[in-house]
Amino acid sequence: MSIFVDETTRVVYQGLTGSQGRYYGLLNRDYGTQVVAGTNPRKAGTDVDGVPVFANVGDAVEATGATASCIFIPAPGVHDAVIEAAEGGVEFIVAITEGVPAHDEARFYNLLKRDFPGVRMLGPNCPGIISPGRCNIGITAGHIALAGGPVGIVSRSGTLTYQALYELKEKGIGCTTCVGIGGDPVPGTTFIDCLEAFEADPDTKAVMMIGEIGGSAEEAAAAFIRDHMTKPVSAYVAGVTAPPGKKMGHAGAIVSGGKGTADAKMEALREAGVKVGLNPTEAGELMVEIVAEL
Which residue among 90, 122, 154 closes a domain?
A: 122
State how far the alpha carbon of 179 is from the alpha carbons of 89, 152, 194, 254, in Å.
22, 8, 8, 22
Name the pLDDT band for 255 (thresholds 50, 70, 90). Answer: very low
Q: Which domain holds residue 90?
A: 10-122
Q: Is 72 exposed, middle or buried (0-12, 13-18, 19+ CB in 10 A)?
A: buried
> How far from 135 is each of 69, 75, 102, 267, CA to CA, in Å?
13, 25, 29, 35
Q: At what angle do helices 262-271 and 217-228 cross, to 10 degrees?
A: 0
- Tell whether 154 and 105 lie within a shared domain: no
Residue 114 pLDDT > 90, yes or no?
yes
71 φ, ψ to 5°? -100, 115
Query: pLDDT per residue over 169-216, tens digit each?
Result: 999 999 999 999 998 989 999 999 999 999 999 999 999 999 998 888
* Cα within 13 Å of Cα(244), Cβ side: 7
Residue 184 burial by Cβ neighbours in a 10 Å radius (0-12, 13-18, 19+): buried
Q: Does the pLDDT at position 115 exceed 90? A: yes
Q: Which residues are catalytic?
A: 250
286 has pLDDT over 80: yes
The answer to the question of residue 133 being in a domain is no
The CATH number assigned to the domain holding 74 equals 3.40.50.720
Among 41-55, 67-81, 135-149, 231-245, where is mean pLDDT lowest?
Answer: 231-245
Q: How confident is the model at residue 249 (pLDDT cuts 50, 70, 90)?
A: low
Which of 203, 151, 198 minimizes the C-alpha distance to 174? 151
Residue 112 and residue 162 share a domain: no
Give dist(CA 127, CA 53) in Å, integer. Answer: 23
CB half-sphere exposure, 113, CA atoms < 13 A: 10
What's the average model confidence in pLDDT over 7-33? 98
* Phi, psi angles (nearest 5°) of residue 286: -65, -35
Whether residues 113 and 237 share a domain: the answer is no
Both 114 and 156 in one domain: the answer is: no
Tell me the per-residue pLDDT of 148-182, one tens digit each, with 9 for 90 and over: 989 999 999 888 999 999 999 999 999 999 999 99
Average pLDDT, stretch 17-45? 97
Amino acid (one-letter) located at 137 = I
**Arithmetic mean of pLDDT, 250-272:** 73
* Residue 33 domain-assigned (yes or no): yes
Helices (H), 44-101: 57-64, 78-88
Residue 5 lies in a domain: no
